[in-house]
Amino acid sequence: MLSQNNLKLIRQLRQKKYREKTGLFIAEGEKIVTEALQQEQVKVKKLFFTDAHSPKLLKIGPDVDFFEVTEQEMKQISQLETPSTLLAVIQKPLTVFDDAVFKETVLAFDFIQDPGNLGTIIRTADWFGIHYIVCSRNSVDVYNQKVVQASMGAIFRTQVFFVDLKDFLTKARLLKTPVFGTFLSGENIYSVENSLHGIFLFGNESKGISPTLEAMVNKKITIPNFSRNENKTESLNIASSVAVICSEISRR
């Protein structure tokens, strides 16, 4: 049964201010929720399921409050066009940002806005074994439900930090961590002789990397356009660009 308190909580968690206030977020869908339940480091607080699932078929810990709801009740709390049979309220993980991040391969984003893009990027990073993502503070919230949904569970294995990117890149320079920036005018990534290890900076979906951060880039790189058409596509979607660059980083 779906109580009014739970209905109110789930609806409130659609807003960033309540996610920040409560330290909770929503994951929805059989794959994502099942994966969350299977990972010890993920703290599922509440679980809502329809009669399509029996609690005996799910790995539900003793600290999880679980509720069977009707399909109509699931429609009330779902944000999907076709409501799922599972919805979880999850506690945000505690992430610790320290200098060890600067020794790893890091994907950094200057004002990423589209939640679908960020979720896909998190999924892509997880596929290629990249564990750290850094976003400017004005970027979309990583616990936006569309981000969580698009990550397909990778959000539970990837650390995403929101920082002042100028300060972050300044620290990288002090620690001699290379900063690669993605530009249309950069060097062909397939021709770069140096090791592809460091921070890879991507710009806003429409505006690119800001001039302030551009000045802090050590090397500009680009993905070449192989099209033979006279009127070529001007640029790649940011999530597609991330996938290509991650692939080349891993290949090296």
Residues 65 and 180 in one domain: no
Number of domains in the chain: 2
Can you tell me the distance from the alpha carbon of 200 to that of 124, in angstroms, rounded to the nearest whole number?
14
pLDDT, one tens digit per residue, over 94-145 is: 888 999 999 999 999 999 999 999 999 999 999 999 999 999 999 999 999 9
Q: Spell 125-160 as b/e; 16+ CB within 10 A means b.
A: bbebebebbbbbeebbbbbbbbbbbbbbbbbbbbbb
Residues 68 and 182 in one domain: no
Residues 36 and 119 in one domain: no
Task: Report residue 52's pLDDT band, with 50, 70 and 90 as the boundaries.
Answer: confident
The confidence score (pLDDT) of residue 210 equals: 96
The confidence score (pLDDT) of residue 53 equals: 76
Residues 103 and 176 in one domain: yes
Can you tell me the distance from the alpha carbon of 89 to that of 206, in angstroms, rounded to the nearest whole number?
33
Residues 40 and 163 in one domain: no
Residues 138 and 120 in one domain: yes
Domain harbouring 110, CATH code? 3.40.1280.10
- Calculate mean pLDDT across residues 53-74: 83
CB 67 within 8 A of CB 45: no
pTM score above 0.85? yes
Mean pLDDT of the chain: 93
Read off the amino acid at residue 35: E
The confidence score (pLDDT) of residue 56 equals: 60
Among residues 40, 69, 91, the one where a domain terminates is 91
Residues 237 and 160 in one domain: yes
Domain that holds residue 49: 4-91
Domain harbouring 57, CATH code? 3.30.1330.30
Q: CB burial class (10 A; 0-12, 13-18, 19+) of residue 229?
A: exposed
Residues 107 and 48 in one domain: no
In 3D space, the residue among 75, 135, 82, 125 whose CA is nearest the CA of residue 105 turns out to be: 125
- Calculate mean pLDDT across residues 223-243: 87
Residues 33 and 116 in one domain: no
Residues 86 and 106 in one domain: no
Among residues 91, 109, 131, the one where a domain terminates is 91
- Calculate mean pLDDT across residues 13-39: 95
CA 33 to chain CA centroid, nearest Å: 16
Residues 103 and 156 in one domain: yes
Among residues 91, 120, 136, the one where a domain terminates is 91
Residues 84 and 118 in one domain: no
